[in-house]
Amino acid sequence: MSEPLRMTINGAAVLVPSGTTVAAAIMLVAYSCRTSVTGEPRGPLCGMGVCYECRASINGTPHCRSCQVLCEQDMEVKTNE
């Protein structure tokens, strides 16, 4: 079994198993991925990159589909809560 990966989500340190998607990591720490224009929390819906509900900023790149990105060591994720 591999070592857990260390990353930050909205500034909070998080440990996740190798092979975890960023969307799953965000859900593990009980954050929504973004907030809709009407103020509702949004999160992964399809899990395959079609709905764009899981968008987050990953390592400074905005609007990444977090369900399509695997977590990496020292990754920095910011949601638009």
What CATH number does the domain containing 44 carry?
3.10.20.30
Tokens found for residue 56: 């987050």
Q: How many whole angstroms separate alpha carbon 30 and alpha carbon 2?
A: 24
- Domain around 69: 5-78
Q: Are 42 and 26 in contact (CB under 8 A)?
A: no
Percent of the chain residues topping a pLDDT of 70: 98
Number of folded domains that form the chain: 1
Nearest to 51 by CA among 23, 25, 19: 23
Segment 29-49, tens digit of pLDDT: 878 888 888 988 888 888 888
Nearest to 44 by CA among 11, 79, 17: 79
Whole-prediction pTM: 0.89
